[in-house]
Amino acid sequence: MRRAAPWIAVAALAAVPLLGIGKYPLHLLIMILLWSFVYTSWSLMGRFGLVSFGHGAFMGIGAYVVTMLWNHYGLTPWLGIPLGIALAVAVAVLIGYPCFRFRITGHYFALVTLALTEVARLVIVALRDQTGGSLGVTPKTALAGGESFSLYALQFADKAAFFYIALVCWLGALWVWRRVDRSMARYAMEAISQEEDAAASVGVNVTRTKLAITVLSAAMTALGGALYGQYQLYVNPDTVSGIGISLQIVFAVIAGGMYVQLGPTVGAVFTLLLAEGLRIAVGHDVHGLDTFIYGALLVIFIIYMPNGILGRILERWGRRGAAARAAAPAGSPG
Amino acid sequence: MLELRGVSAGYGAFQALFDVSLKVDAGEAVAVIGPNGAGKTTLLRVISKLVGSTAGEILMEGRRLNDVEPHRVIELGIAHAPENRRLFPRLTVEENLRMGAFVPAARARFGERLESVYALFPRLKERRSQLAGTMSGGEQQMCAIARGLMSQPKLLLLDEPSAGLAPVIVQRIFEVVHRIRDEGYTVLIVEQNVQQVLKVVDRAYLLEVGRIKASGRAAELAASADIRRAYVGL
Amino acid sequence: MEIFDVFLLEAVLNGLLFGGVLALLALGLNLVFGVIDVVWICYAELMMIGMYTVYFLYTVYKLPLIVAFAAGILVVSVCGVLLHVLVIRPVLNTEPINQLLVTGGVLFFLQAAATLAFGVQFRNLGLSLPSLELGEIFLPYSRIYAALTALVAMVVLYLFLKKTYLGTAIRAISQDRQIMPLMGVSPGRIYVITSAIGGGLAGLGACLLVLQYDVHPAIGLTFGPITFLICVLGGLGNMVGGFVAAFIFAQFISVGGFLLHIEWGYVMAFVFFIVMMFIRPQGLLGGKQ
């Protein structure tokens, strides 16, 4: 029965658009799924101590490459997305390889990635003739003639389609997370994050392992950025790149729980519902109120709950159920 | 001058000292010997309050140390030259010595203290502007001891000064300890090099697995079978 | 060709002056980040507080500029101490990344607080300082003051760290925190004092920045990342290195911005940083750790 529970949940989720829940809640769900996808991708690196402040760059690359190729050359996102991912991967390798090779870790690594995300944002703004600069850009619509969707343009008038795309991606991210968790790479990474030299001395190819995780994380994040652009039909350097986004990603994952499979998802739910909740409670968009609370909560979380909400809950459950589950097989998620 | 009564201490769940009692009188040189892991370093750290004690009393000139904050211990006249030297590697020799004289009383007489310490350690005077981390092990140890002396302590704690040093240097170190002794300092020295240390101290305690197993005058201990066992056990 | 050269020269000279400003900003951060190894990602936001303080005291309460400056420095100094005691101290013994994250939260918090309290408008002191005219070259006095102040501050800080007991203790604590009590130094006290000085320097930077730039809630994002990169590029804790790095950065920004768009100037500076990190991770003048 426990094995079946996740599948039932997925089926229930898949059925949601069919329940006619209305556009706005559906929109929220899509955002939650998309951001969970991005956050989970980030946490592949974060959980092993590779805290990156540069994922805004990958999202930005994904979003802008796809949109630019479509707007300027009419290139279908089906090709644009792989190209965007390829560029993100190239950047990840370009920055990652020297970092790992020269053992740049911890907050020095974070600072290099921070420089990276700012470079990405600045380049986007500087290329204002092509990208629209700070004002952002909208992918040209392929639905002008009243069609409900265009597979070629990867645009859908009906949110339900995006819901399923986001759902699939999210599930994919969870699957990848699980695979990494179970692989030798996981043990290698944990060894590395604790004591690099020792890990290297037992034959762990430190550079290659870190690079692999980084490439994976970057590729997925770029995909997330591209899908975000296709869904919102608007991209802007500050919403998909730059230090703001990077910090947002980090905060959400910390809040939800960095070391747990569903942690980033909980973080997405938490932050999005917080923003929406505040908007409803206050009645209108009070500039900065949600960030104000985010900031305070991030501080509180790091000090009192470094394992995040989900982590803390699991800890409690773990303690209570430890005796009862002493003989249980190691099959639970996270 | 210094008295420990029934002191126990440890690190978290791990207890390193069990009910240790000892004393050091003014003008004496006392050694604490014992094998690896006996708790010798912990003992000194408990006295200088780097580590808290879980039971017992520590008295310095009749004053309880239990409630004294770690950074005030030196004001009571206890200076500690920690194990592994622990110099500030990117400060010069003289800056390290300056740190040793940080407390107001020593600061006021810094010039005088510096001269006195350089007289004991002429090698250090030559290297006064050298970065401490670039010196040899022996020189660093000299510097660490010198730093401890800068505050003109009533009691100097020396933690394994001979550790990791070549025999020739070790010889020199113990000569220095002897000279310090002669200058009138009271010294409590923790050592693994039993043979050498017993030649320079008046009394010694044998610490094994956190407990005092034996004590007595240095000459007696040097001859005893217990010590031979501890010595061989190294 | 003549005119082109003169404007290029102006860009270079302005770059030098801008370097002075950046160097001043980096000074405080270098002390906190470089010397006692504490990460204040929200350093620029502390500066923002200083800038708002000076702005309000001067324009709204009509206090003399010098009083506003003094208050600004004091306020940010206190903020530095509060930051350390409330936010840094609880996580000081955990991984350093936590400091980065927790001050990241403060960054959000302060930016948002400023937005809620003061709105997003750009605010200007309304002072219009003249420029030094050298032929066809204009060098704003505000920048000259900033550069000179940075120089003086650097010298004072250097002497403080080298020649005083407290300064030596501050340098020592980053090398071996655990044995500080043996010297009679309370590590906690040193951290607080350093935080106060670091905050004060940020406040000083704020005073000079507010002469040249409008203050608004997001101004931290303009100066924050670059201040960090300067410190790291120069070699953490190395005041002279920070100075040199600030000037290099400023040249990239000024000349790059002159030749192309201003953003490209920043891009070049950041790319330079990334490349330098690969070539020399300990920074230009950084020693081996």
Question: Would you say C46 and C107 are in contact if contact means Cβ atoms under 8 Å apart?
Answer: no
CA gap B78, B99 in Å, rounded: 15
Go through chain B and tell me how many residues it has.
234
Q: Would residue A252 count as lying in a domain?
A: no
Q: Would residue A125 count as lying in a domain?
A: yes
- Predicted pLDDT of residue A174: 92
Please give the ipTM for the structure prediction. 0.88
pLDDT digits (tens, 9 = 90+) for C94-130: 877 788 888 888 998 999 899 888 888 888 887 777 8
| Domain chopping of chain C, boundaries | 2-279
- Predicted pLDDT of residue C101: 81
* Contact assignment for B49 to C178 by CB distance below 8 Å: no
> Closest to A112 (Cβ–Cβ): which among C90, C110, C274?
C274
- For residue A282, the distance in angstroms to the closest alpha carbon of chain C comes to 13
Average pLDDT, chain A: 81
pLDDT digits (tens, 9 = 90+) for A92-131: 998 888 888 877 777 778 888 888 888 888 888 888 888 7
- For residue A12, the distance in angstroms to the closest alpha carbon of chain C comes to 36
Q: Collect all residues of chain A within an 8 Å Cβ-Cβ radius of residue C100.
A: 51, 107, 110
CA torsion, ordered B188, B194, B199, B205, to nearest 10 deg: 50
B103 touches chain C (CB under 8 A): yes
Token couple for A117: 């995300």
Most B CBs within 10 A among C161, C173, C178, C183, hence the mutation to make, goes to: C183
- For residue A320, the distance in angstroms to the closest alpha carbon of chain C comes to 27
Q: Collect all residues of chain C within an 8 Å Cβ-Cβ radius of residue B73.
A: 181-182
Comparing A313 with C46, the larger pLDDT belongs to C46
Q: Would residue A186 count as lying in a domain?
A: yes
In this model, does residue A72 exceed pLDDT 90? no
The percentage of residues in chain A with a pLDDT greater than 90, rounded to a whole number, is: 20
- Predicted pLDDT of residue C4: 63
Average pLDDT, chain C: 87
- Predicted pLDDT of residue A310: 67
* Contact assignment for C182 to B79 by CB distance below 8 Å: yes
Token couple for A178: 């699980």
Q: How far apart are the first and last CA of chain A?
A: 18
Q: CATH number of the domain at C2-279, out of 1.10.10, 1.10.3470, 3.30.300, 2.10.25?
A: 1.10.3470
Q: Would residue A33 count as lying in a domain?
A: yes
Per-residue confidence in pLDDT tens, chain B, 234 aa: 898 888 888 888 888 898 899 999 998 999 998 887 788 889 999 999 988 888 889 999 988 988 889 999 999 999 999 988 899 998 999 999 999 999 998 999 999 999 999 998 998 999 999 999 999 989 999 999 999 999 999 999 999 998 888 888 898 899 999 999 888 899 999 988 888 888 889 999 988 888 888 888 888 887 776 666 656 554
* Contact assignment for C183 to B86 by CB distance below 8 Å: no
C151 touches chain B (CB under 8 A): no
pLDDT digits (tens, 9 = 90+) for A122-168: 888 888 888 787 788 888 877 766 666 777 777 777 788 888 889 99
In this model, does residue A313 exceed pLDDT 80? no
Identify the domain containing residue A153 by its residue range: 20-240
Q: Would residue A234 count as lying in a domain?
A: yes
C172 touches chain B (CB under 8 A): yes
Reference A15, options A163, A157, A162; nearest CA is: A163
The set of chains that have 3 or more CB pairs under 8 A with A is: C
Residues C11, C16, C21, C22: is their CA dihedral positive or negative?
A: positive
Q: Would residue A196 count as lying in a domain?
A: yes
Domains of chain A: total: 1
Cα nearest neighbour of A50 on chain C: C97
Q: Collect all residues of chain C within an 8 Å Cβ-Cβ radius of residue B134.
A: none
Question: ∠ at Cα A318 (A314, A321), nearest 5°?
Answer: 130
User: What is residue C137's three-state secondary structure?
Assistant: strand
Q: Collect all residues of chain C within an 8 Å Cβ-Cβ radius of residue A112.
A: 273-274, 277
Token couple for C4: 């082109």
pLDDT digits (tens, 9 = 90+) for A18-39: 777 788 888 888 999 999 999 9
- For chains B and C, count residue pairs whose Cβ atoms are closer than 8 Å: 63
Q: Would residue A246 count as lying in a domain?
A: no
User: What is residue C17's three-state secondary structure?
Assistant: helix
Average the pLDDT over A218-237 and give the result: 91
- Predicted pLDDT of residue A332: 40
Touching C: A residues 120-139, CB under 8 Å: 122-123, 125-126
pTM (two decimals): 0.83
> Closest to A298 (Cβ–Cβ): which among C108, C111, C217?
C108
Q: Would residue A270 count as lying in a domain?
A: no
